[in-house]
Amino acid sequence: MRYLLVEDNADLAAALTGRFALAGHVVDHADCLNDAELATRTTDYDLILLDIMLPDGDGRSFLKRHRAADNPTPVIVLTARSEVSDRVGLLDLGADDYITKPFDYTELEARVRAVLRRLGGAAANTREFAGLSFDSTTGMISAAGSSEQLRNRETRLLEVFFAAPGQVFSKSHLMDRLFSFSDEVSENAIEVYVGRLRRKLASSEATIETVRGLGYRMVRRE
Amino acid sequence: MNAQLPSIRRRLVVQLALVAALLSVAFFLTVRGVAGNATEQTQDSILAASAASIADAVYSDDGAVRVELPYSALSMLGTVSEDRVFYRVIVDGETLTGYDDLPVPSGRAGPRAPLFDTYTYRGDSLRSVVISRALSGASRPRRVEVVVAQTRLGLEVISARITGTATAIAVAFFLVATALSALAARNALQPLNRLAETMARRGPKDLRPVTDETPEELAPLVAGLNSFMQRLGAALTRSEDLIVEAAHRVRTPLATVRTQAEVMHLQVEKPANRSALRQMIRAVDESSRSAGQLLDHAMVTLRSDQLETEETDPGELLHDVVGRLGPTAELKDITIRLELPPEQTRVMGDPILLQNAVRNILDNAIKYSAAETDITVRLEPGNPCRLVFCDQGRGFAAADITRLPDRFSRGSNVSDVVGSGLGLTIVADVARAHGGSLEIADNPEGAGACVTLVLPSC
């Protein structure tokens, strides 16, 4: 998936770009409206993440032009403004969703997933490994002709493994991806989700392997 | 309510009516006086003419004084209704003819100059005149006095008639003047009433200046009103701008701090450092949440003070908020079940406030629910209209239930979850502004709690 991030806060932009890259997405960064206009003219994006207060103008004017041009790319607005006053206006202007800064990355990821799923038509995000096909947007897995719906946390966990099959991910890394900072959970919680994922992958060649002392990785079953 | 002065209109009418009454009385007295004088003068001149013609008829015949009463002398008096006439001719102090006890008007009557008097004679009130003349042609000059008197019945009849007419005119004048003053008072006060009506018709947020044409006297009031509304409008706009701006100013740096901490968290491996960073991020979340809710609370208070209601579909509102918070719930694999009645429902309210309240309730429910549980959102239409949110979370401690809607009050069992203690305060404020209430209870279907936003009807 290719996202356009329009954000003038360089730290935030770098962090978001890094997080999305971990999930296997490419993020182009524009730090003003001008660059954003240029980028949308030359590249087709699956999603635009748009800040409202930008050095060369109001993100809402970009949104208005974007909608007026019948551009189908969904837009999620990142706003630091008060929720009460802005909420209605943003959705009326054609934003598909919005998130209030500061936000948890997992929350943004969930909103991206929800928007992409709602629009349905967006490029299928299906990847394959060892006879298992996985759509990280809808959370559907299929193998050997049968398909199954994963729950949200299972989907996100599998997404981590799919980004780098064979690579070992530590428990703490998986924790970071699965839980927001407001969740107070022990590292054992990961074992529960890995166990469930193993059961759901049973009909395919792929499985999650425990690497003692290091973490987990996804491998082809021997 | 302020102490009320009596209505301007009533005071105006009463004062004008008092003036009309005074004028009526003055008119009545004047007419009666003038008319009374006029009739009296008429009677006096007839009496004088009559006396003069009798005096002329006195003559001296060989030293004897004789009189032949001319018929006309008495007939000219007879014109007036049933009045009786008395006369007396006196020569040198002795009655020649007539009623010899008829009193002579006192005072000296000059030659040919009549002297008038009013007195009572034989039970009747009489108007009388005396004329004296010297009779020459005899051996010595003789002094002749002629007294003519007439009862005043006719005069009284005329006077009564004049009084009656004057009274009727005065009363009519008073009535017409009072009616006209009522009309005039109404007309004069019409611009004031119009202004009051215009103001009463306005919505609570309509702060446009009054542009109606107003009379000179109201101009300072209207100018004062307009400048007041302008200042109020500016103050409200400033407050709203401040709230929006403050949110931005607080959250932008918080977002940076949080991002940096999050990036660092990904890079460090030492559990102690990770835990410190995690605490830092939770603190940032807590302050950003508090800032957001404080500002939301300020905005809710501002809007509640001047509630602007419109027809809203609570079902659609619930549907929107559930859709909006769906991804947040999904992160914890929480399923939100929305149960709406088949028919469309309508509620009168401020959609932004209601949305804020509903979002706060649902946000709380998600926050305090364990992963992989259900939240049920149900709209129960009717009077009252109930928006019920039930979760399978940790529920409320019984001791907390009554104090939770208080500002900054949080449940005793939630210290591990980020929260500001303002969420339910906002909900309670919104409910109160809409004439409803907030109910907190245990979930009747097992673990968890039910929070209900009760509105008067839908």
- Write the single-letter amino acid at B142: R
- Per-residue pLDDT for B110 more than 80? no
State the nearest Cα–Cα gap between A15 and chain B, in angstroms: 6
Residue contact B333–A101, C-beta within 8 A: no
Report angle CA B443, B444, B446 to the nearest 5 degrees: 70
State the nearest Cα–Cα gap between A222 and chain B, in angstroms: 32
Residue contact A88–B352, C-beta within 8 A: yes
Residue contact B326–A80, C-beta within 8 A: no
What pLDDT does residue B79 have?
57
Asked if A63 contacts A94 with a C-beta cutoff of 8 angstroms, the reply is yes
* Full set of structural domains in chain A with CATH: 2-118 (3.40.50.2300), 124-220 (1.10.10.10)
- Short-list B387, B406, B393, CA closest to B458: B387
Residue contact A18–B285, C-beta within 8 A: no
Peptide bond into B209 cis (omega under 30): no
Helix residue ranges, H only, B268-415? 271-305, 314-331, 351-367
Phi, psi of B455 (to 5 degrees): -115, 155
What pLDDT does residue B137 have?
66
What average pLDDT does the structure give for chain B? 86
pLDDT band at B346 (very low <50, low <70, confident <90, very high): very high
pLDDT in tens, B183-203: 998 888 888 888 888 888 887
What pLDDT does residue B416 have?
67
What pLDDT does residue A151 have?
92
What pLDDT does residue B214 have?
80
What pLDDT does residue B132 have?
85
Mean pLDDT score, B413-438: 84
Q: Which pTM does this prediction carry?
A: 0.68
Nearest CA in chain A to B294: A82
- Write the single-letter amino acid at B111: P
Greater model confidence, B363 or B215:
B363
Residue contact B254–A111, C-beta within 8 A: no
SS (H, E, C) chain A: CEEEEECCCHHHHHHHHHHHHHCCCEEEEECCHHHHHHHHHHCCCCEEEEECEECCEEHHHHHHHHHHCCCCCCEEEEECCCHHHHHHHHHHCCCCEEEECCCCHHHHHHHHHHHHHHHCCCCCCEEEECCEEEECCCCEEEECCEEEECCHHHHHHHHHHHHCCCCCECHHHHHHHHCCCCCCCCCHHHHHHHHHHHHHCCCCCEEEEEECCCEEEEEECC
Residue with tokens 């400048």: B227
Task: Output the CA–CA distances (angstroms, integers) from residue B432 to B190, B308, B362, in the order listed.
Answer: 38, 14, 19
Neighbours of B320 (CB within 10 A): 17
Alpha carbons B139 and A4: distance in angstroms, whole number = 154
Alpha carbons A174 and A161: distance in angstroms, whole number = 10
Any chain B CB within 8 A of the CB of A23? no
Any chain B CB within 8 A of the CB of A89? no
What pLDDT does residue B3 have?
67
pLDDT in tens, B155-188: 788 888 888 988 999 999 999 999 998 999 888 8
Mean pLDDT score, B234-261: 83
- Per-residue pLDDT for B82 more than 70? yes
State the nearest Cα–Cα gap between A10 and chain B, in angstroms: 9
Chains A, B: CB contacts under 8 A, how many?
122
Flag residues of chain A having pLDDT under 50.
Answer: none
pLDDT band at B406 (very low <50, low <70, confident <90, very high): confident
- Per-residue pLDDT for B400 more than 70? yes
List all residues of chain B from 150 to 189 with a beta carbon under 8 Å from chain A: none
A80 contacts in chain B (CB < 8 Å):
247-248, 251-252, 255
Extended strands (E) in B15-72: 58-61, 64-67
What pLDDT does residue A93 have?
79
Mean pLDDT score, B363-382: 92
A16 contacts in chain B (CB < 8 Å):
259
Nearest CA in chain A to B334: A152
- Short-list B329, B439, B420, B419, CA closest to B376: B329
Helix (H) or strand (E) holding B52, with range, is: helix B8-56
Mean pLDDT score, B81-96: 84
Residue contact B263–A183, C-beta within 8 A: no
Residue contact A14–B263, C-beta within 8 A: yes
- For A27-66, b/e burial (b = at least 16 CB within 10 A) is bbbbbbbebbeebbeeeebbbbbbbbbbeeeebbebbeeb
- Per-residue pLDDT for B339 more than 90? yes
- Short-list A127, A133, A122, A109, CA closest to A27: A109
Residue contact A53–B248, C-beta within 8 A: yes
What pLDDT does residue B409 have?
72
* Full set of structural domains in chain B with CATH: 8-160 (3.30.450), 206-306 (1.10.287), 307-458 (3.30.565.10)
